[in-house]
Amino acid sequence: MGQVKVKIDVVNWADMQLSAKGYIPSDKIRRLELDALVDTGAASLNLPVSVIEKLGLIKADERIIRTANGTVTRKVYAGAWVTILGRSHIFGVVELPDDCPPLIGVVVLEELDLVPNPTKETLEPNPAHGGEWTSYAY
């Protein structure tokens, strides 16, 4: 079994809103396509600081985060519109050091109804839902 990696599109949600209201042109919306690692040990979307800066995300909070190397305080940013395999949702982002890859955690997987297939090293629509994007009311 290997690592599950996938391309993701990350867009600054605030820029999307400003463009929708006519304040900025659509070509000024900050967005990046990234290669991300699916990490079922992570909870949220985690992006390196340099990626967060390029996207211009706004700091919303700081949080104590438990990592494999111990407990650290990390900044949390608001407003990343994320698309993976044609499924999109807005997520908060936890910062990572720049030497770490973007990580997709279980909250993102649950919301987008995607599951890793470690044998094939792919991310796939949840087979339990017949390929249909199904959300839970929670």
Q: What is the rounded distance in angstroms from the CA atom of residue 84 to the CA atom of residue 73?
A: 28
103-112 pLDDT per residue, tens: 999 999 999 9
Contact of 107 with 43, CB cutoff 8 Å: yes
**Strand stretches in 51-105, DSSP E:** 58-67, 70-84, 87-96, 103-104
Q: pLDDT-derived band of residue 1, with 50, 70 and 90 as boundaries?
A: low
Contact of 93 with 52, CB cutoff 8 Å: yes
Task: Identify the residue with better confidence: 138 or 35.
Answer: 35
Q: Which two tokens stand for residue 107?
A: 């909250």
